[in-house]
Structure 1
Amino acid sequence: MNLKDKSILITGGTGSLGKALAKHLLTKYPQLKKLVILSRDEQKQYHMAMEFEEYKKQIRFFIGDVRDKARLVRACKDIDYVIHAAAMKHVPIAEYNPEECVKTNIDGARNVIDACLETGVEKVIALSTDKAAAPVNLYGATKLASDKLFVAANNITGWNPIKFSVVRYGNVMGSNGSVIPFFLNKRNEGTLPITDPEMTRFNISLKGGVAMIMHALEHAWGGEIFIPKIPSYRITDVAEAIGPQCDKPIIGIRPGEKIHEEMITSSDSYNTYDLGKYYTILPSRHKWVLSDYIAHFNAKKVELGFRYNSGENTEWETVESLRSLIKEYIDPTFEV
């Protein structure tokens, strides 16, 4: 992908995935004109600026909130591509503070769309979550609404050639607030609390998440929801990989949690295609010709009724593979 003299904005860019994406962009594309990190946490921006000191000629830090449309419009000036990663994502906190979750995840999405339409942005990739498929919690419901807004935004572009697409993935391994860092911190106490022994989750590394965003940025035609083909893990295997000697009491699932996550529902199967490395859910209305899309990507329609569920996956992480991944991606000093 040629990003020479291009400018990119990442909302929520001080988060785990935002930082990994920033590092990838700045190291692989030295001719990138400008990378703007927008977030509302000045402390995180300060620490990230120190960490990215060598890239200070290209990177810019912009204090702002996706709830503030005027600020977003200013941030989007002279920007070519926007990666929308800002979200309120902790399930129990969203359940307890529903209006705040709606303001950030739904109103914020609408503001991003409007700001991009009003400026010269060429392409927008919005990050989603497996919890947006058949949601049972408020976080998932707001992200489903966000996905719908970004997909439908392609219908209101008019003369503007801008494209909006979505990337949906599972748990990012080692991201802030996820189970693996939580267990790594808890194992010194000798207890790893298990919500439910049947619980499973999809697993993707930060590197895999970044690769998926770059794929969408390069190949999206507008309106797609991209889904990676990734392994699942059992929560009991994560606990065993991290603390085999620890007590593992069953404490019950938290408000809004599922036993298994889903990224493609059976209802989605009517518009879902297999692209090889990824699946894509195509919009029911689009500006391009479906037969052209299928031919270009050698896309194959999935069977009706197909669903992609973490508990029914055909690819699984093992205790040993989880230990290797933790050592590779999270803690090089990790030992059992």
Structure 2
Amino acid sequence: MLNNATILVTGGTGSFGHKFVAMTLEKYSPKKLIVFSRDEMKQWEMAKLYQGDDRLRFFIGDVRDKDRLYRALDGVDFVVHAAATKIVPTAEYNPFESVKTNINGAMNLIDAAIDKGVKRVVVLSTDKASSPINLYGATKLAADKLFVAGNAYSGGYQTAFSVVRYGNVMGSRGSVIPFFMSIRDRGVLPITDPRMTRFMISLEQAVELVWHTFDDMVGGEIYVKKIPSVRMTDLARVVAPEAEQEIIGIRPGEKLHEQMIGAEDSHFTYEYPEYFKILPNLNGWGRCKKRIKSGQRVPEGFVYSSDNNSVWMADAELRAWIESNFNDAGAV
């Protein structure tokens, strides 16, 4: 599907964007792959990695700017929407800015994608959008609903929107593993709560889920990757076995456990070997056979959260991932 297509990635200079570009250029032969982001220095540094590859383009712009999106999406077939304001404490203290990017930016992209005839849009969401307690999660829940409803909003146009939802991306900027690695030599690692658990997914798995969504989607589905959980105390112990773990308390807007599917979603959630699919309770789409395909409906009241997960990362698996992705200095 992505061969000989023009693809645009918003927020394309972030951790996901870097991995998506590298993996997509290696596996597929797109006509053009456009990196859309607002940081010129990050684009400059990224461009140096791909000198001589004429498939790659860089476009300075912000999803808050609808006019710029209209120009960027001219001739684009597929969009991956990764741009977001996503650090939980930052969003709590800068709520207006989070709304402008995560909600207003979503509305801008929906309008621009429909008007420019984009075929399919896959949106990156987060576990924090399920039963949100913080502003980041609330804005992403709103964005998810906007993109799902965008399939009705597009009317007779061809544009389809779907969402992928997953947990903490291992090794991404601002995530816990790089943070722990950067301070492990101090002998003390901060733990917000000894009971805390989190979902973990690799960047490679995140990219593969997006690829699968492009192939499988009809429009309006939320794809939830089956991924393992980890206890923060176990993660800290693997990163720095000799370090003391200092309990510092939960930060503003932080959950004890993360959730990706709530009980309220169970009526329209279907299970597949490697993921779940939440169908929209809209226009009868929740019972649409083209969207359900081979899925089996989950039991009523089903909840998929990091503390009730059936799959947990073993110490050896965590250690192997860290050893293959970080050097001795703690850098990726």
The TM tier, using the shorter chain, reads: over 0.9
Partner of 1:236 in structure 2? 233
Write the distance in 1 (CA, Å) between the matches of 2:288 and 2:210: 24
Aligned CA RMSD, in angstroms, stands at 1.5
Structure 1 residues 146 and 291, CA gap change in structure 2 (3 angstroms): closer
> How many residue pairs end up in the alignment?
330
Aligned residue among 144, 147, 151 for 2:148: 151
Partner of 2:44 in structure 1? 46
2:198 aligned with 1:207, yes or no?
no
Deviation string, structure 1 residues 267-306 (Cα, Å, up to 9, x no partner):
01011001221101001125869353267x3110000000
Aligned residue among 166, 173, 176 for 1:176: 173
2:182 aligned with 1:185, yes or no?
yes
Aligned residue among 303, 307, 313 for 1:311: 307
- In the TM superposition, what is the alpha-carbon distance from 1:44 to its structure 2 partner? 0.7
SS, match of residue 249 in structure 1: strand
Partner of 2:83 in structure 1? 86
SS, match of residue 201 in structure 1: strand
Say if 1:34 and 1:59, in contact at 8 Å, map to a contact too: yes
TM-score under structure 2 length normalisation: 0.96
SS, match of residue 53 in structure 1: coil
Amino acid at match of 2:249: G
Partner of 1:302 in structure 2? 298
Partner of 1:279 in structure 2? 276
SS, match of residue 47 in structure 1: helix
- In the TM superposition, what is the alpha-carbon distance from 1:318 to its structure 2 partner? 2.1
Say if 2:122 and 2:164, in contact at 8 Å, map to a contact too: yes
> Unpaired segments of 5 or more residues in structure 2?
none
Aligned residue among 109, 114, 126 for 2:111: 114
Say if 1:274 and 1:301, in contact at 8 Å, map to a contact too: yes
Structure 1 residues 288 and 267, CA gap change in structure 2 (3 angstroms): closer
- In the TM superposition, what is the alpha-carbon distance from 1:334 to its structure 2 partner? 8.1
SS, match of residue 89 in structure 1: coil
2:321 aligned with 1:325, yes or no?
yes
Write the distance in 1 (CA, Å) between the matches of 2:145 and 2:180: 34
Write the distance in 1 (CA, Å) between the matches of 2:77 and 2:296: 31
Structure 1 residues 71 and 287, CA gap change in structure 2 (3 angstroms): farther
Amino acid at match of 2:113: C
Write the distance in 2 (CA, Å) between the matches of 1:259 and 1:64: 36
SS, match of residue 259 in structure 1: coil
> Unpaired segments of 5 or more residues in structure 1?
none
2:208 aligned with 1:219, yes or no?
no
Write the distance in 1 (CA, Å) between the matches of 2:284 and 2:62: 31
Write the distance in 2 (CA, Å) between the matches of 1:165 and 1:286: 16
Partner of 2:13 in structure 1? 14
Say if 1:326 and 1:334, in contact at 8 Å, map to a contact too: no
2:96 aligned with 1:99, yes or no?
yes
Say if 1:293 and 1:299, in contact at 8 Å, map to a contact too: no
Structure 1 residues 177 and 294, CA gap change in structure 2 (3 angstroms): closer
- In the TM superposition, what is the alpha-carbon distance from 1:327 to its structure 2 partner? 1.9
SS, match of residue 246 in structure 2: coil
Say if 2:261 and 2:303, in contact at 8 Å, map to a contact too: yes
Q: Identical aligned pairs, as a percentage?
A: 52
SS, match of residue 193 in structure 1: strand
TM-score under structure 1 length normalisation: 0.95
Amino acid at match of 1:37: V
